[in-house]
């Protein structure tokens, strides 16, 4: 039993007070709250939004855009640079350029991400509103439907079967109100609630709080009204969600692991650069500043923005395909999903189930069976399903309308025990004058197990072995043909109230048979999902023969199938293997559906669950990607990550493809940025140790990194190879490290070539008349020497600056696909345009006054005669190494 430590003290006090006292305490009139009272209550008790959603404001998005590990690193570097360049130096030597540019990078990346965050928030808010849960509230004398987030303490609400309880509520009226509190207690038992006063000292667990319903609980049957006592984080559910997250978020774990891989590389490389520069140049201040710029160069400050833009784009694309992505991180979950669990009804079969036969125990048409089944479906207040709807529709049959009107007038409902997935049937007590009948409708096996008698043409006989044999003789053939069959039984009663003990000693009257035809599109959709390497597993509460018949017609492997009873008999060692090999699970309880999902996840799979019934709710919550439909129960829609506006597996196929595209573009940016930055920094490290001057000023590195990152902002809109989306993808931080070590040093080879060419050929030829840098003091002196050295260094740095940008940017096109770039696969137009713009801007800078202010010297035209062949050779080598990497590691991205 769960303790009551999470229940607000005020809520327990109000549960022990009479209803009149509550109306006085909260100043509630018969008209409900007015708008003025609503605002006062909201100001006093808070909004009905849990912590995660409360935080999703513009200010929260602004903070998230500017406060993350990478921006914090940039800010620290800017502060250190300000201290070393401005505060701790003389007036003559002060230079604010470096800290200003670092802050400019931080501001630019933050603003770009903030814009993307706002765009993502608008998309998410718009889509979530389409499927937001609503509740009936009494306001200004009228019962109106409002979003559950608009509730305040003191509101009067009405609850119906299928609703998810929107707050902690004290009941003021209840009629056969049954609630599942499994989300709070983990127990599957259904609890009946009432409106009486809770005696002091009685409540020791949530189940004991008979007049309270808690946020997150699900109404499985009946109706109720009540007063809201606690909202948002003051609720029991709010306390749970604040204390711990019950959902595994593989996306955040993967993103954080990749961030820490990059940070570890920085932690190792930066001290090495600092020591190499300090020991070889003797200027420890310059060495420190240069190591600082290397840290900036290694920081992928646009990573959060690019990831967010990829997710937002995927979410928006899914919105156009009749799919609402409530949790934006679920986009990546779609991409990594390799098992999709579905219920049978409405997914593999049509939503419109037809009642085909109503029969006595020997298979003859029986009006009495239909009448009793009709009354049961009409009067039970649990969550309605397709079978009940099919039975109730029989009153529309020609010539039957008057008959069923008279039947409803004759029999009045007295009590009920709603359907639950342990008993697997619903019981309704009806009365006609002095006559009282218990009517039971549900699972063949469970109903027949409780029957002591069978009735045929008014005669009763003992059930016995002969009765059981007749059941199988009639029912088994229909089940094998894929028909859904329910048993109808009854029992005369003396009392006006029902208990579980009354559901024994029943009289079996007959059967209702339904035809649930497979969807024409389902077989083709399953085939396409299998091509995407997503296995479809069927988890249903239906009879085994029905499930196997339907699945066989749709091409699902039925050779291995398990029932809930067989699942329970497996040992802990046998269960993971059996579940891994089984495609069809039948006769499952909600608890067993959760068990299957948990086992598949423990086996290393990313599991999606598509469900719409209350029995699917626990499994939807437990899965990596919870999927529901717009017509599902409110509680299920509220718990799902993704809501389909059309219940069709074809829509899911498109969602999986979008998820994989989203992941592809995220991992492209991470790998190409990490590898190119690592290659540049590796080159810087070697040059720092070997050259008599720095190969590039810290300011140059920062500017290079900024423009490169801006040119990468179009990656979320890049094309993705069909081969990449052909199989599931999971976050893999280790692959980033391997990729950096393989591809990063490739650019360093051509960086070293550029060093040699610039130092030994170009600079002596165009600057010093053939004299190398180390020999300049022997040929020049004074101001002329200083000027000559500055020009030599300026041209060298300009040459590597341009070559570095060309190689770093073109590698985007090399890495984005295992195919030949520009020939076999082309990047999207926005990415191509932005990368070419970045190359053009960086190439022009040394020829401008801005370049001169940075210390660059204009490059001669002959430089490009070297650069173009150099870059072409680099692309050839990168392509060769790319193929070798694929052979060694299996795939590029």
Q: Exposure pattern of 92-127 as b/e (b: 16+ CB <10 Å)?
A: eeeeebbbebbbebbebbbebbbebbeebbebbeeb
Of the candidates 439, 144, 211, the one whose C-alpha atom is nearest the C-alpha of residue 157 is 144
Ramachandran angles phi, psi of 246, nearest 5°: -95, 0
CA neighbours closer than 13 Å in the CB half-sphere of residue 777: 1
Q: Which of 168, 343, 616, 718 is catalytic?
A: 343
In Å, what is the CA distance from 476 to each residue of 352, 445, 446, 464, 468?
Answer: 23, 12, 15, 18, 12
- Is 375 in contact with 407 (CB distance < 8 Å)? yes
List Cβ neighbours of 845 (8 Å cut-off, separation of 6 or more).
Answer: 703, 801, 851, 854, 856
Which secondary-structure segment (H or E) carries 455? strand 451-456
Among residues 410, 311, 394, 325, the alpha carbon closest in space to that of 355 is found at: 394
Q: For 17, list phi and psi in degrees, rounded to 5.
A: -100, 155
Pairing of strands 625-629, 584-586: unpaired
CB 421 within 8 A of CB 611: no
Helices (H) and strands (E) in the chain, counts: 34, 23
Question: How far, CA to CA in Å, does 458 sit from each of 5, 55, 439, 472?
Answer: 57, 66, 16, 21
Is 415 among the residues known to form the active site?
A: no
> How far is it, in rounded angstroms, from Cα 626 to Cα 73?
36
Chain centre distance of CA 490? 46
Rounded Cα gap, residues 21 and 731, in angstroms: 56
Residue 583, number of CB atoms within 10 A of its CB = 16
Distance CA(789)–CA(784), nearest Å, equals 9
Rounded to whole angstroms, how far apart are CA atoms 45 and 468?
60
Q: Cβ(340)–Cβ(534) under 8 Å?
A: yes
609 in Cβ contact with 594 (< 8 Å)? no
Q: How far from the centroid of its chain's Cα atoms is residue 797's Cα? A: 47
- End-to-end, the C-alpha distance of the chain in Å comes to 48
Closest Cα partner for 482 from 536, 544, 555, 538? 544
Active site residues: 343
């Amino acid at each position: 039993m769960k303790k009551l430590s999470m229940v607000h003290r005020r809520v327990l006090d109000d549960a022990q007070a009479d209803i009149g006292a509550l109306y006085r305490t909260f100043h509630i009139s018969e008209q409900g709250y007015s708008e003025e009272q609503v605002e006062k209550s909201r100001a006093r008790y808070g909004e009905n939004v849990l912590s995660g959603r409360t935080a999703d404001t513009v200010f929260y998005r602004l903070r998230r855009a500017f406060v993350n590990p990478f921006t914090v690193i940039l800010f620290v570097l800017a502060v250190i640079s300000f201290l070393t360049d401005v505060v701790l130096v003389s007036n003559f030597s002060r230079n604010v350029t470096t800290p200003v540019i670092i802050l400019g990078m931080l501001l630019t990346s933050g603003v770009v991400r903030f814009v993307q965050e706002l765009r993502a928030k608008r998309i998410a808010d718009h889509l979530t509103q389409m499927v937001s849960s609503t509740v009936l509230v009494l306001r200004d004398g009228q019962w109106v439907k409002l979003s559950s987030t608009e509730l305040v303490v003191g509101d009067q609400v009405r609850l119906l079967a299928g609703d998810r309880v929107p707050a902690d509520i004290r009941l003021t009226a209840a009629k056969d109100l049954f609630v599942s509190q499994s989300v709070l207690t983990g127990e599957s038992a259904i609890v009946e609630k009432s409106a009486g006063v809770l005696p002091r000292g009685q409540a020791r667990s949530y189940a004991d709080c008979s007049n309270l319903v808690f946020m997150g609980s699900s109404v499985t049957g009946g109706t109720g009204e009540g007063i809201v006592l606690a909202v948002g984080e003051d609720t029991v559910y709010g306390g749970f969600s604040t204390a711990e997250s019950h959902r595994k978020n593989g996306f955040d774990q993967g993103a954080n692991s990749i961030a820490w891989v990059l940070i570890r590389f920085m932690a190792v490389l930066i001290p090495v650069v600092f020591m190499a520069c300090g020991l070889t140049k003797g200027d420890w201040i310059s060495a420190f500043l240069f190591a600082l710029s290397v840290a900036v160069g290694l920081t992928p400050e646009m990573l959060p923005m690019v990831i967010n833009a990829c997710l937002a784009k995927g979410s928006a694309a899914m919105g156009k395909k009749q799919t609402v992505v409530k949790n934006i991180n679920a986009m990546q979950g779609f991409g990594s999903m390799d098992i999709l669990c579905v219920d049978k009804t409405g997914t593999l079969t049509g939503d419109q189930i037809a009642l085909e036969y109503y029969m006595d125990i020997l298979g003859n048409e029986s009006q009495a069976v239909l009448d009793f089944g009709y009354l049961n479906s009409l009067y039970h207040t649990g969550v309605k399903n397709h079978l009940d709807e099919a039975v109730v529709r029989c009153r529309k049959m020609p010539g039957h309308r008057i008959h069923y009107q008279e039947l409803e007038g004759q029999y009045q409902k007295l009590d009920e025990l709603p359907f639950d997935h342990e008993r697997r049937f619903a019981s309704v007590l009806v009365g006609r004058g002095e006559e009282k009948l218990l009517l039971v409708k549900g699972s063949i096996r469970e109903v027949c197990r409780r029957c002591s008698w069978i009735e045929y043409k008014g005669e009763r006989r003992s059930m016995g072995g002969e009765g059981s044999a007749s059941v199988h003789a009639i029912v088994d053939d229909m089940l094998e043909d894929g028909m859904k069959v329910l048993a109808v039984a009854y029992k005369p009663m003396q009392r006006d109230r029902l208990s579980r003990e009354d559901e024994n000693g029943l009289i079996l009257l007959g059967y209702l048979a339904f035809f649930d035809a497979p969807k024409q599109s389902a077989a083709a959709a399953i085939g396409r999902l299998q091509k995407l390497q997503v296995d479809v597993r069927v988890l249903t509460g239906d009879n085994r023969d029905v499930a196997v018949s339907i699945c066989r017609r749709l091409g699902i492997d039925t050779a291995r199938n398990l029932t809930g009873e067989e699942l329970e008999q497996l040992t802990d060692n046998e269960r993971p293997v059996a579940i891994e090999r089984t495609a069809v699970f039948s006769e499952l309880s909600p608890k067993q559906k959760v068990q299957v999902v948990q086992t598949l996840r423990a086996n290393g799979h990313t599991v999606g669950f598509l469900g719409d019934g209350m029995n699917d709710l626990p499994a939807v919550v437990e899965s990596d990607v919870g999927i529901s439909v717009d017509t599902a129960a409110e509680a299920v829609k509220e718990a799902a990550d993704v809501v389909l506006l059309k219940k069709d597996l074809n829509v899911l196929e498109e969602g999986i493809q979008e998820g994989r595209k989203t992941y592809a573009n995220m991992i492209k940016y991470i790998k190409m940025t990490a590898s190119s930055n690592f290659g540049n920094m590796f080159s810087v490290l070697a040059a720092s140790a070997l050259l008599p001057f720095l190969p590039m000023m810290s300011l140059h590195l920062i500017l290079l990194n900024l423009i490169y990152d801006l040119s990468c902002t179009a990656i979320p809109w890049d094309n993705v190879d069909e081969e990449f989306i052909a199989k599931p993808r999971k976050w893999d931080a280790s692959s980033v490290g391997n990729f950096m070590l393989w591809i990063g040093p490739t650019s360093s080879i051509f960086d070293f070539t550029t060093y040699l060419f610039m130092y030994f050929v170009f600079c002596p030829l165009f600057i010093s008349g053939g004299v190398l840098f180390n020999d300049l003091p022997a040929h020049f002196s004074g101001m002329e020497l200083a000027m000559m050295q500055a020009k030599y260094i300026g041209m060298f740095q300009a040459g590597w600056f341009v070559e570095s940008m060309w190689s770093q940017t073109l590698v985007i096109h090399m890495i984005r696909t295992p195919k030949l770039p520009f020939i076999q696969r082309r990047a999207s137009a926005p990415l191509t345009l932005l990368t070419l713009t970045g190359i053009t801007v960086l190439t022009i800078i040394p020829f401008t006054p801005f370049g001169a202010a940075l210390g660059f010297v204009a490059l001669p035209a002959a430089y490009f005669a070297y650069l173009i062949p150099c870059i072409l050779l680099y692309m050839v080598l990168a392509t060769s190494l790319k193929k070798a990497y694929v052979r060694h590691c299996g795939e590029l991205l």
